[in-house]
Amino acid sequence: MTQQSITPARFISFEGIDGAGKSTHIGFVAAFLRLRGVTLVTTREPGGTALGEKLRDLLLHEKMHLETEALLMFASRREHIAQVIAPALQRGEWVISDRFTDASFAYQGGGRGLDRGKMEALEQWVHPALQPDLTLLFDVPLEVARARLDATRSPDKFEQEQADFFSATREEYLRRAAQFPQRFRVIDSTQSIAAIEGQLAAILHAVLAVSAPGH
């Protein structure tokens, strides 16, 4: 039997270019919320399901046509929503996803130049009514992101991209943050981890305050 959250379910996505530091902060956010009685699921894209993880392996390591890449990202997402995200939200649990559709707009749209209209069509098809309630965008200049990439493992297909790819990806993320200011919070990820955690705590307190029963 699943325990009910004390607050209505919320869907939170984490975004940013490779090396922006989002992965470091997912654990902090999950622990912060659990300590306050929130039942939650942490997951990731591409991936999050058995099939999605197979697609992730292809997406991160195989060369493919740009539209194939976009379609597979959304195929993985379709499965992820059906198997993980929607059921968790229906059970009253929060969902924290390491990336969601903003990543497709930023990477396939911004970075690779796929027509935004095609992406919007896929978004309309795959999740016409679902959007994150909160998107945390970890933003850093390219040089900082590059320096942070884990030098101990070989870079995947995306991490091997050049500076102009990441600058277009970052620009698209920031454009979307400006387009959807209600759900986006942009975190200056050049700050210390402690400073970022302080900022995240303030954001989460505000989310919990509006989620509290009786508000």
46 belongs to the binding site for ligand TYD (CB under 6 A): yes
173 belongs to the binding site for ligand TYD (CB under 6 A): no
**Measured distance CA(185)–CA(50) in Å, rounded:** 30
119 belongs to the binding site for ligand TYD (CB under 6 A): no
33 touches 87 (CB < 8 A)? no
21 belongs to the binding site for ligand TYD (CB under 6 A): no
104 belongs to the binding site for ligand TYD (CB under 6 A): yes
Residue count of the chain: 215
**What are all long-range contacts of 190-194, with beta carbons under 8 Å and residues at least 24 apart?**
190/140, 190/141, 190/144, 193/24, 193/25
Q: Which two tokens stand for residue 46?
A: 């591409």
23 belongs to the binding site for ligand TYD (CB under 6 A): yes
64 touches 10 (CB < 8 A)? no
107 belongs to the binding site for ligand TYD (CB under 6 A): yes
Of 158 and 173, nearer to ligand TYD (C-beta) is: 158
What is the side-by-side strand order in the sheet with 94-98?
A: 40-44, 94-98, 11-15, 134-139, 184-188
Q: Which of 67, 98, 123, 197 binds ligand TYD (CB under 6 A)?
A: 98
CB of 15 to ligand TYD, least distance (A): 9
158 belongs to the binding site for ligand TYD (CB under 6 A): yes
Of 10 and 99, nearer to ligand TYD (C-beta) is: 99
Task: List interacting residues with ligand TYD (CB under 6 A).
Answer: 18, 23, 45-46, 73, 98-99, 103-104, 107-108, 158
